[in-house]
Amino acid sequence: MLNQSRIQSIHDRSQDFVIESKFNNLVNPSTLSLDALKFLGTLVEDFQPLNILEFGSGLSTLFLCNILKKQGDGHLFSIENSTPHPPFMDYYSDDMVELIYERDQCIFELFNYGV
CA angle 10, 58, 28 (to 5 degrees): 80
pLDDT of residue 41: 95
The number of distinct structural domains making up the chain is 1
Q: What is the pLDDT of residue 43?
A: 95
- Rounded to whole angstroms, the Cα distance separating 49 from 35 reads 21
**CATH number of the domain to which 26 belongs:** 3.40.50.150
**What's the pLDDT score for residue 44?**
93
Per-residue model confidence (pLDDT) at position 56: 75
pTM attached to this predicted model: 0.73
Report how far residue 31's alpha carbon sits from residue 5's, in angstroms, rounded to the nearest whole number.
Answer: 27
Q: What is the pLDDT along the chain (115 residues), one digit of tens a residue?
A: 789 999 999 999 999 999 988 888 888 888 899 999 999 999 999 999 988 888 877 788 888 888 888 888 788 887 766 555 555 555 444 444 444 444 334 445 554 443 3
Backbone angles phi, psi at 5, to 5 degrees: -70, -35
Containing 10, the helix (H) or strand (E) segment is helix 4-14
Cα 99 from Cα 95, distance rounded (Å): 7
Confidence at residue 99, expressed as pLDDT on a 0 to 100 scale: 42
- pLDDT of the residue at 80: 65
Domain span at residue 91 reads 4-112
**Contact in structure between 47 and 72 (CB atoms under 8 Å):** no
pLDDT computed for residue 11 by the predictor: 95
